[in-house]
Amino acid sequence: MSIALQFDPYVQFAVENQDRLTRMLVEHVILVCQTLAIALPLGVGAGVFISMYDRASTPVLWFAGVLLTVPSIAFFGVLVPVLGIGAPPVIAALVCYSLLPIVRNTYIGLTRADASTVEAGTGLGMTRWQRLRRVRFPVALPVVMAGVRNAVVIVVGLAAIGAFIAGPGLGDFIFQGINSGNTPMIVVTTIVLSALALTFDYGLAVVEDLLRLRNGEAVDPNLVTKSVQRLPL
């Protein structure tokens, strides 16, 4: 009974605020999707570029790494005078934070494509761009997806800090809870945020394993793999 009473404030908060939690959750998902819609073409495009012009790989990866090391609140603060408050500066910062894993994994996947497979494409008379589109990129997709998984986890977490500059999403409840000392508000919102990150990661892990299986690669025997094996392929 005493244990149930300890959890009662958290359950009560979740029930009383389920509509607001749902709305903020949807806002958070939309924010993540908007960020990926910009970061994916930029990151994959940069990864393709440096895979074809290797001299550019070091400065591009260095720059993307530097962006990831900038403290998030400081980054948001720098963008506010330029983009104002709300979603625009949050999305801009999140795009910068998500670039490194996408660019790096695209570059690694493309440069480590099986040489014999690439040579087979050359033997068939494919041009450089045809080999990239039909041979190297399909082989690199599982590695690219692993980078996207990392980027999504980063974005889901950092998007919550965007509430510091009136950004949408679950971060608003976390900051309200900290300012008011409302522990149930903080804990429940953090649980929802963590569940969202795990859901994104799990879903993308299934996609990654599907791509590896399509390429004839071995996958680790884990929960994700078992889920993939149940799918009607």
% of the chain beyond a pLDDT of 90: 65
Residue-wise pLDDT for 137-189, tens only, equals 888 889 999 999 999 999 999 999 999 998 999 999 999 999 999 999 999 99
Q: Tell me the average pLDDT across 42-63.
A: 94
pLDDT of the residue at 233: 47
pLDDT of the residue at 115: 59
Longest Cα–Cα distance of the chain, Å, equals 74
Say if residue 144 is exposed, middle or buried (CB neighbours under 10 Å; 0-12, 13-18, 19+): buried
Residue bearing the bigger pLDDT, 102 or 225: 102
Residue bearing the bigger pLDDT, 220 or 181: 181
Least confident piece of the model among 30-34, 87-91, 128-132, 210-214: 128-132
| Residue 167 contacts residue 31 (beta carbons within 8 Å) | yes
pLDDT of the residue at 37: 97
Residue-wise pLDDT for 92-149, tens only, equals 999 999 999 999 999 999 888 665 665 665 666 666 677 777 777 888 889 999 999 9
pLDDT of the residue at 146: 93
Average pLDDT, the chain: 86
Report in angstroms the alpha-carbon separations of 164 from 19, 80, 86, 159: 22, 11, 9, 10
Residue 193 C-alpha from the chain's centroid: 14
Q: Which two tokens stand for residue 191?
A: 């649980």
Report in angstroms the alpha-carbon separations of 41 from 19, 156, 158, 228: 34, 19, 20, 27
Alpha helices in 53-180 (DSSP H): 57-69, 72-83, 87-111, 115-123, 128-131, 137-161, 171-180
Q: Which two tokens stand for residue 12?
A: 């009560």
pLDDT of the residue at 219: 65
Q: Tell me the average pLDDT across 77-102.
A: 94
Q: Tell me the average pLDDT across 8-29.
A: 93
